[in-house]
C-alpha cells in the first residue's frame, strides 16, 4: 500500500513537472488546436495500470484462494470463523452450513462463507482436541 502511494505521488509530480516546463505559448497553441492526443492520456492510463497490478489483481487472487479453501473443507479440518472462533469441522450439513466443534460438547452451525482461514495444526491448538 505504501509502495502504491509513493508511485502515485511520483507519477503526479512527473505530470505536473511536464506541464510546468512547457512554454506558455506552446501550451496555449496545443489547447486551441486540441494537440497532445494520446500523450495527454498516458498518465491516466499509467495510474489505472498501477491500481490494477497493486490493488485489484492481488485482491482477486486472495478471493480465489479463499473460495477454493471453502469449497475444499472436509471433516476434522481446523477452521477460524469470521468472529474469531477456533474449532474443528464435525459435519457438513449442506452446501452452505457447517457444524463446528468449539469445545467438548459444544457444536455450532455456521455459514461456510463465515469461515475465514484454516486454523493451526492439531499439536499447536490447545483447545482443539
pLDDT digits (tens, 9 = 90+) for 78-120: 999 988 999 999 999 888 899 999 999 999 999 998 987 664 4
Residues 10 and 64 in one domain: yes
Residues 29 and 14 in one domain: yes
pTM of whole model > 0.75? Answer: no
- Same domain flag for 33 and 16: yes
Same domain? For 9 and 40 the reply is: yes
**Taking each helix axis from N to C terminus, what angle separates 42-51 and 2-21, rounded to the nearest 10 degrees?**
180
Burial (CB count within 10 angstroms: exposed 0-12, middle 13-18, buried 19+), residue 8 = middle
What's residue 124's pLDDT?
46
Task: Tell me, yes or no, whether 56 and 86 share the same domain.
Answer: no
Tens of pLDDT, residue by residue over 5-41, are: 566 677 666 665 565 555 544 444 455 555 567 788 8
Longest dimension (CA), the chain: 82
Name the residue range of residue 83's domain: 78-118
Q: What is the model's pLDDT at position 91? A: 92
Query: Total domain count for the chain?
Result: 2
Same domain, 7 and 57: yes
Q: Nearest CA to 128 among 109, 91, 102? A: 102
- How many of the other CB atoms lie within 10 Å of CB of 69? 15
Amino acid at each position: 500500500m505504501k509502495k502504491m502511494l509513493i508511485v502515485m505521488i511520483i507519477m503526479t509530480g512527473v505530470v505536473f513537472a511536464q506541464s510546468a516546463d512547457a512554454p506558455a505559448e506552446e501550451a496555449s497553441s496545443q489547447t486551441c488546436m486540441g494537440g497532445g492526443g494520446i500523450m495527454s492520456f498516458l498518465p491516466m492510463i499509467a495510474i489505472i495500470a498501477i491500481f490494477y497490478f497493486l490493488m485489484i489483481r492481488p485482491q482477486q487472487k486472495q478471493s480465489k484462494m479463499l473460495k477454493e479453501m471453502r469449497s475444499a473443507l472436509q471433516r476434522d479440518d481446523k477452521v477460524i470463523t469470521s468472529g474469531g472462533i477456533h474449532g474443528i469441522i464435525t459435519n457438513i450439513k449442506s452446501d452452505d452450513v457447517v457444524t463446528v466443534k468449539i469445545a467438548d460438547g459444544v457444536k455450532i452451525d455456521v455459514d461456510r462463507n463465515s469461515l475465514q482461514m484454516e486454523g493451526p495444526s492439531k499439536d499447536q491448538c490447545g483447545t482443539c482436541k
